[in-house]
C-alpha cells in the first residue's frame, strides 16, 4: 500500500480526522487515515455528548453536507434534548448524550465501510516537503508515505503534557502517549506555534451515587434526531441525567489544594477555555457564588461509569476526592479516574486560508484543536471542510468555502482565519450575525444542494430536501390565503388569554401571534384536512410557523447578507502588494500582509482594519 501515492493523507482519527477522511474518500480521493491508536477512533475524550448551544447547529450542518457526525450521534444516543426552546427558533439547539463506547465503535464501523479509505496505526513525526509543497509524511519507524495533500488533525496530542496536582507527565489523553516531533518539524518550516490548555473532570462509579438527592433531567418527551437522512430514527427510550450543586464546604476543600494546583503555582501558563473553566477557576473567579451546578451524565447504556460535568479540575487527586465527597449525592463516591488538565501545542489559524490550507506550505491542511478550537463539533466541522478541500486541491479544482451567511461552519472558519484566537475558541449563537437564517431546522435546505453539487450526497438526499421545501412553501401559501372561522378563533384566543378578534382574517395572521402554536390550529377543520391530504409532518409545519412568525427578521437578515455578498465578490489577488497603498495605515498593512484576505468583505472583518482602509482598498480594486 505504501508504494502508492495517496490523494489525501489524514493524520489523527479524532472528530476532525474522521470527518476529513470520510469526506475525502467519499468524494473519490484515495485516502489514508493514520493514527497512533485505531482503537480510539472517534473517541469522546471529554464529555459524552454532541451538540448544545450553536454546536447542535454545527452537527446538523455537518450532516446536511454529507458528514457522519449526526448519523453516529443518532445511532449511539442515550438522551436527546432541544435546548433554548423558551427562546426564539434562532436559539434552539439540539444536544444528545451518547454512549461513549458505542460512539467510537460506530465511527470505526462507518469508516471501515467507506470506499477509497485505508488505515494505518503509527505516529507521524515529520513531513516530506519539496519546494514549499508537502508531498508526504514520515512515521516514527522512518516509513515514508507519499500523498498529493496532507491534513493534520492532531487534537491535544502535540507535545501533550498532563497535569494532576504537582504531578505531570507526557500524554495526549489519559492512558495515551503524546505526539512528538511534528511541532518542531512545522516550526522549522516557519510556522508559529503556541500552547493551550484544556481539562476534564473525574469519572466516577454511578453505583456509589445517591440520585434521590439530585434533580432528575430527563430527555425530551418527543425526541427528534440530528441527521436529516433516513438512516436513523428518534430514540424510543432514554437515560436521565441529574443535577446537583457544589457548596461552601466543597469550595473550602478545593481552596486548600490551591498551593499544589498547577493552575496557581505556575506549572500551567497556557490559556484555557474561557467558557468551560475548571472548578478551581470558577470558585477563584466567582468567589461570591455559594454554589455551582454539577451535571451528572451517564457514559452509556451498559456501564456504571459517570461523567461529572462542571467539575473539571487539575487539583491533586486527594483534594478532588475529598471535595467531591462533600457534594450532595456524592457522599459515598468512588472514583474510576481523577480529573486532569492537559497542555498542548496549537498553530494560530491566521496562518491558514479559508480552505484551511496553510499559507506557508502548499497542499497542507490543518483542522481541529491544532487551530486553537475546543469541542468535538467545531473540530468535526473543520475536518469535513479540510477533507473536502484536500480532495479538491488534489484534483486541481477550486476550493469549497462557506460564507458567514451560509452556515455556522462559515462563521467558525472565518473567525479563526481573520481574527485568530489566543484562547480555545468555542462557537456560540451570538457569534453569528445571521443566526435567524442559520437555524438548526433549515441546515438541509441551506447546505444539501451544495453537498450534492460537490458529489458528497446523492440524488435521494437532494430530492428529500426539495420535497420538504415544496411542501413548506405550499403550506405557507395555504395559511396566507385561507381564512379562519371567527368563533373558533375567539375560543382559541380566549383560552390563550389573548385579545379576541371582531372579524375574520387569514390563518397566518393568527399563527403570527407569539402564543399561538400548531396545536392551537388543530381545531380549524380546513387546516386539519389540508395537513392530512398533503402529508405535512410536524417538521415541515414548524418551519412554516417560523417563516410566518419571524418573516420580518428573516427578510432583514437576507438583505444584510446580500449586502455582504457584494463585498465578498470583490476579490483581492493573492499576490496583491498592500505596501504600495500609501493611504493605508501601518497597522492595516501589517494585518493585511499577515492574513492575506481573499475578498474585501474578509478584509473588513480583520481586527484593526477600519472603514477608511476598506475605502482605500475599494478604490485600488477599481470600485
**pLDDT greater than 80 at residue 1:** no
Give me the mean pLDDT over the 529-545 stretch. 93
Give the confidence band of 357 by pLDDT, cuts at 50, 70, 90: very high
Give me the mean pLDDT over the 333-341 stretch. 97
Give the confidence band of 623 by pLDDT, cuts at 50, 70, 90: low
pTM for the model stands at 0.94
Percentage of the chain with pLDDT > 70?
Answer: 100
594 or 71, greater pLDDT: 71
CA atoms within 13 A on the CB side of 429: 22
What's residue 615's pLDDT? 87
Rounded to an integer, what distance in angstroms lies between the CA atom of residue 331 and that of residue 341? 24
The string of pLDDT tens digits covering residues 269-278 is 888 888 888 9
Rounded to an integer, what distance in angstroms lies between the CA atom of residue 222 and that of residue 82? 10
**pLDDT greater than 90 at residue 266:** no
**pLDDT greater than 90 at residue 437:** yes
Q: Which residues fall within 8 angstroms of residue 618, CB to CB, at 6 or more apart?
A: 570, 600
Beta strands in 194-240 (DSSP E): 194-200, 203-205, 215-217
What does each C-alpha distance from 75 to 84, 101, 117, 225, 296 come to in angstroms? 24, 12, 22, 9, 22
What's residue 146's pLDDT? 98
The string of pLDDT tens digits covering residues 449-464 is 999 999 999 999 999 9
What's residue 459's pLDDT? 97
CA 621 from chain centre, in angstroms, equals: 35
What's residue 84's pLDDT? 93
The string of pLDDT tens digits covering residues 398-432 is 999 999 999 999 999 999 999 999 899 999 998 99
- The answer to whether the CB of 161 falls within 8 A of the CB of 171 is yes
- Mean pLDDT taken over the chain: 94
What's residue 276's pLDDT? 84
Q: Which three cell numbers stand for residue 445?
A: 435546505
What's residue 139's pLDDT? 96
Give me the mean pLDDT over the 173-181 stretch. 91
Give me the mean pLDDT over the 56-67 stretch. 98
Give me the mean pLDDT over the 28-38 stretch. 97
**What are the residues facing 98 on neighbouring strands?**
77
Three-state SS at 181: coil
**pLDDT greater than 90 at residue 348:** yes
Rounded to an integer, what distance in angstroms lies between the CA atom of residue 494 and that of residue 499? 7
The string of pLDDT tens digits covering residues 217-240 is 999 999 999 999 999 999 999 999
What's residue 263's pLDDT? 83
Rounded to an integer, what distance in angstroms lies between the CA atom of residue 130 and that of residue 127? 10
**pLDDT greater than 90 at residue 621:** no
Amino acid at each position: 500500500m505504501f508504494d502508492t501515492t495517496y490523494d489525501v493523507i489524514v493524520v489523527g482519527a479524532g472528530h476532525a480526522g474522521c470527518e476529513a477522511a470520510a469526506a475525502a474518500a467519499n468524494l473519490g480521493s484515495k485516502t489514508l487515515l493514520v493514527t497512533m491508536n485505531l482503537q480510539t477512533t472517534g473517541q469522546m475524550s471529554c464529555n459524552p455528548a454532541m451538540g448544545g448551544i450553536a454546536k447542535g447547529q454545527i452537527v446538523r450542518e455537518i450532516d446536511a453536507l454529507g458528514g457522519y457526525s449526526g448519523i453516529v450521534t443518532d445511532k449511539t444516543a442515550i438522551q436527546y434534548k432541544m435546548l433554548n426552546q423558551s427562546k426564539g427558533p434562532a436559539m434552539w439547539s439540539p444536544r444528545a448524550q451518547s454512549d461513549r463506547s458505542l460512539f467510537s465503535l460506530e465511527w470505526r464501523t462507518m469508516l471501515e465501510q467507506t470506499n477509497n479509505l485505508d488505515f494505518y496505526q503509527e505516529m507521524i513525526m515529520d513531513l516530506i516537503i519539496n519546494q514549499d509543497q508537502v508531498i508526504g509524511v514520515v512515521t516514527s519507524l522512518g516509513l515514508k508515505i507519499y500523498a498529493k495533500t496532507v491534513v493534520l488533525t492532531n487534537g491535544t496530542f502535540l507535545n501533550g503534557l498532563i497535569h494532576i496536582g504537582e504531578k505531570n507527565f507526557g500524554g495526549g489523553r489519559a492512558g495515551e502517549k503524546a505526539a512528538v516531533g511534528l511541532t518542531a518539524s512545522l516550526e522549522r518550516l516557519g510556522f508559529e506555534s503556541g500552547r493551550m490548555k484544556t481539562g476534564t473532570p473525574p469519572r466516577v462509579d454511578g453505583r456509589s451515587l445517591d440520585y434521590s438527592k439530585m434533580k432528575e433531567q430527563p430527555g425530551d418527551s418527543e425526541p427528534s434526531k440530528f441527521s436529516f437522512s433516513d438512516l436513523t430514527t428518534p430514540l424510543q427510550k432514554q437515560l436521565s441525567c441529574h443535577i446537583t450543586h457544589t457548596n461552601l464546604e466543597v469550595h473550602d476543600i478545593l481552596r486548600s489544594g490551591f498551593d499544589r494546583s498547577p493552575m496557581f503555582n505556575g506549572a500551567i501558563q497556557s490559556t484555557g477555555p474561557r467558557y468551560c473553566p475548571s472548578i478551581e477557576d470558577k470558585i477563584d473567579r466567582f468567589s461570591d457564588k455559594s454554589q455551582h451546578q454539577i451535571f451528572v451524565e451517564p457514559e452509556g447504556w451498559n456501564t456504571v461509569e459517570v461523567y461529572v460535568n462542571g467539575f473539571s479540575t487539575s487539583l491533586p487527586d486527594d483534594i478532588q476526592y475529598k471535595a467531591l465527597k462533600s457534594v450532595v449525592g456524592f457522599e459515598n463516591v468512588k472514583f474510576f479516574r481523577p480529573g486532569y488538565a492537559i497542555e498542548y501545542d496549537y498553530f494560530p489559524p491566521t496562518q491558514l486560508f479559508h480552505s484551511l490550507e496553510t499559507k506557508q506550505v502548499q497542499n497542507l491542511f490543518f483542522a481541529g484543536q491544532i487551530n486553537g478550537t475546543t469541542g468535538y463539533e467545531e473540530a468535526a466541522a473543520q475536518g469535513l471542510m479540510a477533507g473536502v478541500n484536500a480532495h479538491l486541491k488534489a484534483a486541481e479544482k477550486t476550493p469549497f468555502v462557506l460564507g458567514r451567511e451560509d452556515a455556522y461552519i462559515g462563521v467558525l472558519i472565518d473567525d479563526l482565519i481573520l481574527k485568530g484566537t489566543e484562547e480555545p475558541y468555542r462557537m456560540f449563537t451570538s457569534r453569528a450575525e445571521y443566526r435567524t437564517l442559520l437555524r438548526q431546522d433549515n441546515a438541509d435546505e441551506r447546505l444539501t444542494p451544495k453537498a450534492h453539487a460537490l458529489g458528497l450526497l446523492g440524488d435521494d438526499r437532494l430530492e428529500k430536501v426539495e420535497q420538504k421545501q415544496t411542501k413548506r412553501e405550499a403550506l405557507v401559501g395555504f395559511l396566507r390565503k385561507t381564512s379562519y372561522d371567527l368563533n373558533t378563533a375567539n375560543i382559541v384566543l380566549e383560552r390563550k388569554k389573548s385579545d379576541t378578534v371582531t372579524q375574520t382574517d387569514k390563518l397566518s395572521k393568527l399563527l403570527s401571534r407569539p402564543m399561538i402554536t400548531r396545536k392551537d390550529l388543530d381545531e380549524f377543520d380546513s387546516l386539519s384536512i389540508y395537513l392530512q391530504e398533503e402529508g405535512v409532518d410536524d417538521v415541515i409545519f414548524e418551519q412554516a410557523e417560523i417563516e410566518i412568525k419571524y418573516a420580518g427578521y428573516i427578510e432583514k437578515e437576507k438583505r444584510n447578507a446580500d449586502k455582504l455578498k457584494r463585498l465578498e465578490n470583490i476579490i483581492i489577488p493573492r499576490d496583491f502588494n498592500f505596501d504600495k497603498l500609501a493611504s493605508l495605515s501601518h497597522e492595516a498593512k501589517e494585518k493585511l500582509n499577515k492574513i492575506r484576505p481573499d475578498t474585501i468583505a474578509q478584509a473588513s472583518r480583520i481586527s484593526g482594519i477600519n472603514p477608511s482602509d476598506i475605502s482605500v482598498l475599494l478604490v485600488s480594486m477599481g470600485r
